[in-house]
Amino acid sequence: MKFRPTLAALGLGVLAACATLSANADADAKRGEVLAYTCLGCHGVPGYKNAYPTYSVPNLGGQHAKYLETALAAYASGERPHQTMHAQAARLSDQDRADIAAYLQGEPITPSDQVVGTPPPATQTCVACHGADGAKTVMDDYPILAGQRADYLVQALKDYKSGKRKNPIMAGIITGVDEKDFEALAQFFANQKGLCNTKEVRESGKCR
């Protein structure tokens, strides 16, 4: 009887530790929250746009931590060219990136398995990797497209097509996709339940 409260406290402690160490066993989401403060100056502002070309800054909240880490490393090395994000990512250590990614991912998104609207035929090429609704990816280092901003998705597709983004997997896919279909693909995935467009996520203030 006497030991019960102690055991309960221990149990809670373990749970709290698990929540903090969500994606990567060595990542510290609490530390990541502090480091990510400056990031939210762009990513946490609804409607914030990249200038020249103009498109929305991507949603990061709920995204797979492994994908976020890969993206940050690619900006830092210059493999994924973007001046602002290069400056942001280059000053971070590997540990910083892992911690920030764990914080941004937060609680992993539960894919709904329910597609919103009619998928345009061009999505047939995408679903094997990104999932029928763009939220259930086959690998946890593949990005969630569901709920991402549509104009950002269009820009990403254009950048794969032009070779500005050099990921070999998407480079292979995009050669077979007609640029005329980019808008419909982007709108479809942006409308799915995912990153920032569920009521629950918005109301929890976790949209970032």
Binding site for ligand HEC (CB under 6 A): 36, 38-39, 41-43, 50, 57-58, 60, 68, 70-72, 82, 84-85, 88, 100, 122, 125-126, 128-130, 142-143, 145, 148, 153, 155-157, 165, 167, 169-170, 173, 177, 185
| Residues whose CB falls within 8 Å of the CB of residue 198, separated by 6 or more in sequence, listed in order | 147
Cα 183 from Cα 196, distance rounded (Å): 19
Rank residues 5 and 117 by Cβ distance to ligand HEC and give the closer one. Answer: 117
Closest approach, Cβ 65 to ligand HEC, in A, equals: 10
Rank residues 13 and 84 by Cβ distance to ligand HEC and give the closer one. Answer: 84
Under 8 Å between Cβ of 29 and 109: no
Under 8 Å between Cβ of 135 and 144: yes
Please count the residues of the chain.
Answer: 208
Rank residues 3 and 37 by Cβ distance to ligand HEC and give the closer one. Answer: 37
Rank residues 5 and 41 by Cβ distance to ligand HEC and give the closer one. Answer: 41
Closest among 161, 121, 127, 152 to 142, alpha carbons compared = 127
Six-digit token string for 32: 């990541």
Closest approach, Cβ 78 to ligand HEC, in A, equals: 12
Closest approach, Cβ 144 to ligand HEC, in A, equals: 8
Closest approach, Cβ 17 to ligand HEC, in A, equals: 23
Closest among 129, 140, 141, 139 to 189, alpha carbons compared = 129
Rank residues 6 and 38 by Cβ distance to ligand HEC and give the closer one. Answer: 38
